[in-house]
Amino acid sequence: MNHASPHDLEPLIEHWFAQGTAAVGNPDALATFLQLRDALEAGTLRSAEPDNDTPTGWRVNAWVKRGILLGFRLGSLEAMNGRSPGGRSGNLLSFVDKSTFPARHFTPEQGIRIIPGGSSVRSGAFVARGVIIVPPAYINVGSFVDQDSLVDSHALVGSCAQIGKRVHLSAGAQIGGVLEPMPPGSFSPGGRPCTTFPTTPSIRRQPKCRSSSLREPWLWPAAGPFRTDTAKIWALASIPPSL
């Protein structure tokens, strides 16, 4: 299959997503998803992006999120084992995950610094040049981490979260994902997610964020409670000096 532009890719994703389990095992469906994954990793396609014409200043590309979910549907469980240094026989680590979402590998030429010690970037995540990842840290599918940001130890960048330039996600910070539907009975202050972080100096442990459109003064971003099946996404405005 020839590589499609994002404009042409959207109807293909919607088609295969609508097929449900009938798409499983179809090579064209898999090829369509892989194009989506490649575009996400290249940063040419985003699950959410700035849009000054919207009240929040952001536009969520819901079809991209459906494409990611399509990838989970199409993938099968497979062993993903780390090899010992020098390629010698024997596994250092053992993981089992969907075949469509292996961990990403980077080269020095990409200008991304991943310090040894147990961090992982999932396929379908964009990491820009100049980003530093301190172990252990995790960057999930659909997320976007822009230039010169620091993902510190024990930090999480959840599914489809958007991190701007020169952001410091401090140790223990968790930016919740917005890919999965909110579990029944879960509680979200204000009922809205807060997973978009434009350029800002530092996000400390248990950070607070302010929505430019909400009456509630502060919301707490965290993994789990802020997952939502809505298409709303809110931007960080500032960090209070008391944090």
- 28-68 pLDDT, tens digit per residue, is 999 999 999 999 999 999 999 999 999 989 999 999 999 99
pTM: 0.76
CATH architecture of 6-74: Orthogonal Bundle (1.10)
pLDDT at 212: 26
Neighbours of 141 (CB within 10 A): 26
Given a cut of 50, is residue 115 above it in pLDDT?
Answer: yes
Task: Provide mean pLDDT across the span 122-144.
Answer: 98
Q: Average per-residue pLDDT in the chain? A: 78
Question: Given pLDDT bands bounded at 50, 70 and 90, which one contains residue 177?
Answer: confident
Chain centroid to CA 175: 10
Q: Domain segments of the chain: what residues?
A: 6-74
Query: Cβ neighbours of residue 102 under 8 Å, at least 6 residues apart?
Result: 80, 123
C-alpha to C-alpha distance for 155 and 62, rounded to whole angstroms: 25
Please tell me which residue, 202 or 176, carries the higher pLDDT value.
176
DSSP string, 123-183: TT-EE-TT-EEPSSEEE-TT-EE-TT-EE-TTEEE-TT-EE-TT-EE-TT-EE---SSPPP
8 A C-beta contact, residue 67 and residue 124: no
State whether residue 95 is helix, strand or coil: strand
Given a cut of 70, is residue 88 above it in pLDDT?
Answer: no
182: amino acid identity, one letter: M
Task: Provide mean pLDDT across the span 119-138.
Answer: 97
- Token reading at 239: 């960090």
79-101 residues labelled b (16+ CB within 10 A) or e (exposed): eeeeeeeeeeeeeeeeeeebebb
Question: Given pLDDT bands bounded at 50, 70 and 90, which one contains residue 198?
Answer: low
Neighbours of 215 (CB within 10 A): 6
pLDDT at 219: 32
Whether omega before 184 lies within 30 degrees of 0, making that bond cis, reads no
17-32 residues labelled b (16+ CB within 10 A) or e (exposed): beeeeebeeeeebbeb
State whether residue 202 is helix, strand or coil: coil
- Token reading at 133: 């990842």
- 134-173 pLDDT, tens digit per residue, is 999 999 999 999 999 999 999 999 999 999 999 999 999 9
Which of 102-116, 127-141, 164-178 shows the lowest mean pLDDT across its residues?
A: 164-178
